Amino acid sequence: MRAFWYFAHIAGYSVWIGAALAAMVLGIASKREPVNASGTASRLHMSLYPTLIGPGAILSLVSGLFLTLQLYNQVTAVGLSHWLMAMQGLGVLASLVVIVFALPTASKLSRLDPERDGDIYPPLKKRLVVVGMGSGILAMLALLTGALYRYG
């Protein structure tokens, strides 16, 4: 059963981080599009959040919790590694930022038209960029600390 949770964890964060990088590239590329085409680009961009980024973050969080619970059966008197605890904390924080802030913001943005809703759209877009960058940095730090735990 442990191998299944490892696979789910790796698949979850691979989908999550990969889709987040794709959303970042799509967001940068959509800035060069004319204003009348930015609505379509925005809807395509926002469709990545509920289909790939959110489920990847949830799968990574749930599988990480199951792996952590299985690990507590094997804890020695020395305790857990600092790298492992950092990975767990950063991963939980990053996935909660995606679930609590990024998914609702992306949902609101997907219903807006940049031309019609010009006063509401830019602040929400900026919020999504900041939240996405924050969760991406936290996720990459969690990935780095996990590698340092495994190979460091």
In tens, the pLDDT along 57-67 reads 999 999 999 99
State how far the alpha carbon of 115 is from the alpha carbons of 35, 46, 99, in Å. Answer: 7, 16, 28
Burial class (CB in 10 A: 0-12, 13-18, 19+), 85: middle
pTM for the model stands at 0.87
In tens, the pLDDT along 39-75 reads 777 788 888 999 999 999 999 999 999 998 888 776 5
